[in-house]
Every structure is written in structure tokens, then in C-alpha cells.
Amino acid sequence: MRICVLIKQLPDTGSALKIRADELWVDEDNLVFSANESDSYALEEALLMKEAQGGEVVVVSLGPERVGQVLKDALAKGADRAIHLHDPAWEVLDSLGLARIMAAVLKEEQCDLIFTGLQSDDTGDGQLGPMLAELLDMPHVTLVVETELSDGRIKVKQELEGGWFQYVTAQLPVLLTIQSGINKPRYASLRGIMAMKHKEIKAVGAGDLDLPADQWVAGRTLQRLYVPEKTKETVFLEGSPQEVGAALVDHLVNTAKVF
């Protein structure tokens, strides 16, 4: 059994973000990068499945040099090999272009399962998983919070809105987008870190794929980033904690009347 996990590297949650002078992205100097949160849960789910059932876990990421780090981290945690998609021609992609590149790579891998996080915490499109499943002609389930694999079938618990859930069953191959909280992602062990050094990270560029360049021309491009316009007039309370505490209680009692 082969499980492919798609991982995106992005600025650490809680990073102080500064919009770049050209207003087309954030300034990446001085930022700390890590794996997208739900992608970490997706990787852990794949590793647990491999440990229980056997097989191979392949991690895939697209991006510049720095992306090598999330692939190394995944290999140290127990993934078997990695594919790093990197090409200057792929600097500006939309979800569909990215999905077509991933599809061209994963077609060769013949995966039984493909896992991704439910969405990336930077662009937040939440499109790659279902798009990739369509391009590879396999079924998909989004927002998965539980998996159970047996006899070439997988039964998953899908999160719906407002606290509702549904069990969904499919024959492999299938693509799942994994919700945060499904498991407890592990840390790499020292032995894992040593083993990582002998594992393969395959570099793949545009020239290695059977995919015409017009397939990744963006139909959707970022024009400008900016700090959102405020919808509410916020009263900011300043001063010592004692002053602020007293002032807030006064506002809550006399202005907002919340008691």
C-alpha cells in the first residue's frame, strides 16, 4: 500500500506578518516556516496507517529551497521518501495549476491513498484535494476526523457543519483531506533523524513532467494584499492591568450592560 501525503510549508502560526512593498505577498525575511497545521495531522494519520497495515509513505511538497526542511522533518518522523517540486516557472500558481502539477507527479506514483490537510493556513483556498481527486479520477472525502482501513476499503468519519458527522465508505484509491485534531502528531526521534539522512528526496522540475506549460497558467492571480478594513469601532483600553481591569468592568456594567 502506498500513501502519498501533500505538505505545504508556510509561516509559523502566530508570525508577525508584514506585507511586502509590492503588495503581492508577505515579506518572508525573518519568518520561521513550518508545515501547515492540518498537513501535520495528515502525515501522522498516514504514518499510523503504515505502522498498522504496512506499506510506504511518500511526502510531496512544492516550493523553494526552504521547503526541503518540511520534507526532512517528515522523513525523520517516519515517511519513506520525499518528492520536492521546485521550478522557477512555478512561482505563481493558482489552485488548479498546482493540482495539475501534483496530478502529473502522482499519476506516476499509483497511490492507494492521498492525504492532504483540509486547507492551508496561508491562502486558505481549500481546493487542492478535491481538484486533485478529480484530475486523478478518484473519489475524495473532505474534513476527515477518523479513518478505518480494511480489505481495500476505507471508512471515514466526515465532519459536517454545526456538530454533525457522517460515516462515508469508499474503495481505494481515494483522496482524503484531513481535519486538525484527528490524532496527536509525533515528534521525530533521534533514531528517525539519523535514518532520515539516508532517505531519498527526489527533485522534480517542470522539465521532468509530461505537462504543457499552459496547464499551470493561473486563471486566478493575486492583485494586492492589504490589512482588512475594520467593520467595528473598537475601544482599545490601555494602562496598567489594574486600570484596564477597572475600566473594562465599568464599560461592561454601564455601557454594554452585559449583566
Partner 1 sequence: MGKIIVLGQMEGSQVSRISLEALSGARQLAAATGHTVLAALFGPGDPPEQLAGADIAEIIRLPNAELADYSPDHYVAAAEALIAAEQPELLVTGHSYQIRDWLPRLAARLGRPLISDCIGVRDAGAGRWVRPVFQGKISADVQTSPGLVLVSFQSGTYRADELGSGSPTVRTVPVDLSAVESRLQREEKFQEAKGAVDLSRAERIVAVGRGIGEEENLQLAHDLAKALGAEVGSSRPVVDYGWLDHDRQVGSSGQTVSPKLYLALGISGAIQHQVGMKNAGCIVAINKDANAPIFEIADYGIVGDLFDYVPALIKALHAR
The piece of 57-65, 82-90, 160-168, 189-197 that touches partner 1 (CB under 8 A) is 160-168
Encoded amino acid at 113, one letter: L
Burial string for 167-177 (b: 16+ CB within 10 Å, else e) reads ebebeebbbbb
Q: Which of 156, 178, 173 is nearest to 165 (CA)?
A: 156
Number of residues that bind partner 1 (CB under 8 A): 82
State in angstroms the smallest separation of the CB of 27 from partner 1: 12
Which one of 27, 148, 181, 205 is in contact with partner 1 (CB under 8 A)?
Answer: 181
Draw the binding track, 108-137, toward partner 1 (x: CB under 8 A; -: no contact): -------------xxxxxxxxxxxxxxx--
Q: Does 186 bind partner 1 (CB under 8 A)?
A: no
Q: Which of 69, 68, 47, 67 is nearest to 58 (CA)?
A: 47
The piece of 46-54, 77-85, 189-197, 222-230 that touches partner 1 (CB under 8 A) is 222-230
Contact set for partner 1, span 22-51 (CB under 8 A) = 26
Q: Does 227 bind partner 1 (CB under 8 A)?
A: yes
Edge-to-edge order in the sheet of strand 81-85: 153-159, 140-150, 174-178, 113-117, 2-6, 56-62, 81-85, 201-204
Q: Does 152 bind partner 1 (CB under 8 A)?
A: no
State in angstroms the smallest separation of the CB of 33 from partner 1: 13
Q: Does 259 bind partner 1 (CB under 8 A)?
A: yes
Q: Does 167 bind partner 1 (CB under 8 A)?
A: yes
Closer CB to partner 1, residue 210 or residue 229? 229
Q: Distance between terminal CA atoms of the chain?
A: 59
The piece of 28-36, 57-65, 81-89, 235-243 that touches partner 1 (CB under 8 A) is 235-243
Residue 219 is classified by DSSP as S
Q: Does 221 bind partner 1 (CB under 8 A)?
A: yes
Q: Any long-range contacts for 168-174 (C-beta under 8 Å, 24+ apart)?
A: 168/141, 170/139, 170/141, 171/139, 172/112, 172/113, 173/111, 173/112, 173/113, 173/114, 173/136, 173/138, 174/113, 174/114, 174/133, 174/138, 174/139, 174/140, 174/141
State in angstroms the smallest separation of the CB of 81 from partner 1: 27
Q: Does 19 bind partner 1 (CB under 8 A)?
A: yes
Cβ 41 vs Cβ 50: under 8 Å: no
State in angstroms the smallest separation of the CB of 245 from partner 1: 4
